[in-house]
Amino acid sequence: MSNAAKPRILTGDTPTATGLHLGHYVGSLETRLRLQDEYDCYFLIANVHAFTTLAEKAGEIRANTLGIVKDWLAVGLDPERSAFVLQSEIPAIAELTFLFAMIIPFNKVMRNPTLKTEIESKGLGETYPFGFPMYAVGQCADILAFRPELVPVGEDQEAHIEMCRDVAMKFNQLYGGVGNRVPADDHARAGSAGENAVFPVPRARIGRVARLVGIDGQNKMSKSLNNAIFLYDEAKVVQKKINSIRTDRPTTTSPLPESNPLSQYIDVFLPAERASQIKADYAAGKTIMDGHVKAEVGAAINALLDPIRSRRAALEAPAAPGRAGGDALVVDVIRAGVKKANAVAEETLMLAKRAMGLDFGRRVVGWE
Ligand code: TRP
Q: What is the 3-state secondary structure (H, E, C) of 180-220?
A: CCCCHHHCCCCCHHHCCCCCCCCEEEECCCCCCECCCCCCE
> CA-CA distance, 364 to 361, in Å (whole number)?
10
Q: How far is the CA of 161 from the centre of ligand 1 (A)?
A: 9
Residue range 71-100, pLDDT digits in tens: 999 999 999 999 999 999 999 999 999 999
More confident residue, 344 or 223: 344
Give the closest residue to 17 by CA, choosing from 84, 86, 63: 63
Q: How confident is the model at residue 3 (pLDDT cuts 50, 70, 90)?
A: confident
DSSP state of 152: E
**Mean pLDDT, the chain, integer:** 94
Superfamily of domain 235-316 in CATH is Tyrosyl-Transfer RNA Synthetase (1.10.240.10)
> CA-CA distance, 239 to 228, in Å (whole number)?
12
Q: How far is the CA of 318 from the centre of ligand 1 (A)?
A: 30
CB atoms within 10 A of CB 116: 12
> CA-CA distance, 73 to 15, in Å (whole number)?
15
> CA-CA distance, 270 to 278, in Å (whole number)?
10
Q: Residue 68 is inside which H or E element, if any?
A: helix 58-75
Q: Residue 40 is inside which H or E element, if any?
A: strand 40-45
Which atom of ligand 1 lies at the shortest distance from residue 153's CA?
13
Count of all residues that appear for the chain in the document = 368
Q: How far is the CA of 326 from the centre of ligand 1 (A)?
A: 26
Alpha carbon nearest to ligand 1 atom 6, residue: 12
Residue range 132-143, pLDDT digits in tens: 999 999 999 999
Give the pLDDT of residue 1.
63
Residue range 255-313, pLDDT digits in tens: 999 999 999 999 999 999 999 999 999 999 999 999 999 999 999 999 999 999 999 99
Residue range 124-168, pLDDT digits in tens: 999 999 999 999 999 999 999 999 999 999 888 999 999 999 999
Binding pocket residue ranges, ligand 1, CB within 6 Å = 10-14, 44, 46, 49, 139, 142-143, 151, 153, 157
Q: For the chain, what is the radius of gyration of the CA atoms?
A: 23
Alpha carbon separation from 126 to 66, 116, 122, 160 (Å, rounded): 31, 12, 12, 21
> CA-CA distance, 60 to 195, in Å (whole number)?
43
Give the closest residue to 334 by CA, choosing from 143, 67, 76: 67
Number of H helices, E strands in the chain: 14, 5
Q: How confident is the model at residue 320 (pLDDT cuts 50, 70, 90)?
A: confident
> CA-CA distance, 49 to 34, in Å (whole number)?
26
Q: How far is the CA of 235 from the centre of ligand 1 (A)?
A: 31
Fold of the CATH domain 3-211+324-355: Rossmann fold (3.40.50)
Ligand 1, from 8, 9, 10, 14: best to mutate by most atoms within 8 Å of Cβ? 14
Q: How far is the CA of 214 from the centre of ligand 1 (A)?
A: 23
Ordered by start, the domain boundaries in the chain are: 3-211+324-355, 235-316
Q: How far is the CA of 287 from the centre of ligand 1 (A)?
A: 46
Q: Determine contact, residues 265/297, Cβ cutoff 8 Å.
A: yes
